Chains A and B, each alone.
Chain A
Amino acid sequence: DAGVIQSPRHEVTEMGQEVTLRCKPISGHNSLFWYRQTMMRGLELLIYFNNNVPIDDSGMPEDRFSAKMPNASFSTLKIQPSEPRDSAVYFCASSLLVNQPQHFGDGTRLSIL
């Protein structure tokens, strides 16, 4: 079975540019999560979708960050404009139901110069 698929694996861009990260959850999973991992803050939840609807976006750092889930098989996390402090590894995860194991993608390593 295919796991959670994220793209790109690596992204290097200049400050001020728009960045779009993509995620394809495991087929049939109805919960999707975006996490960010940094040395300073560890792993933290940014946003949680249930049945394509954003349920909790309290972890989104600021208005420069936005996330969408237009259908059950695709989600995006967008940063506009990007800043050097956004440099981190961004993970997408999905679970069958909300109280079920979360399965993580390989992450996107983002570097903002």
Chain B
Amino acid sequence: GIQVEQSPPDLILQEGANSTLRCNFSDSVNNLQWFHQNPWGQLINLFYIPSGTKQNGRLSATTVATERYSLLYISSSQTTDSGVYFCAVSGTYKYIFGTGTRLKVLA
């Protein structure tokens, strides 16, 4: 099956800093989503991005499907960005989740 690796596993930032989270996957995919799991456990859909680049406010994402990776950029981080960021990929419907990047933003 598809393997998903996320890096770094943990990240601590000072408020206002920028960061890049990476997701590598082992096979071609038709679906890729980035999620933010907030401290209350909710899974928030950030981007559906099987290929290309998207931006939403301070967040943007790029997926290079031919090279099997995706990047999530967080600019001007805020304390509310803290939580775990998951990448999930699938060839069909069965999403395989990475183990996540745990982000802590300090005030």
The answer to whether B42 touches A106, judged by C-beta atoms less than 8 angstroms apart, is: yes
CB-nearest residue of chain A relative to B30?
A: A99
The reply on B92 being an interface residue by CB < 8 A is yes
Q: Which B residues touch A102, using CB under 8 A?
A: 33, 45, 88, 95
Bitwise, B69-107 to A at CB < 8 A (1) or not (0) is 000000000000000001010001111010110000000
Majority SS of interface residues in chain A?
Answer: strand
Q: Which A residues touch B92, using CB under 8 A?
A: 98-99
CB-nearest residue of chain B relative to A55?
A: B93
From known contacts A42-B97, A98-B92, A99-B30, infer whether A89 and B45 are also in contact, taking CB-CB under 8 Å.
no
Bitwise, B40-51 to A at CB < 8 A (1) or not (0) is 011101001000
Q: How many angstroms between the C-alpha atoms of A44 and B100 in the bound complex?
A: 13
Q: Which B residues touch A103, using CB under 8 A?
A: 45
List 7 A-B pairs, minimum CB-CB distance, nearest first.
A101-B48, A43-B97, A104-B43, A98-B93, A106-B42, A45-B94, A48-B93
Q: Which residues of B are in contact with A by a Cβ distance under 8 Å?
A: 30-31, 33, 35, 41-43, 45, 48, 86, 88, 92-95, 97, 99-100
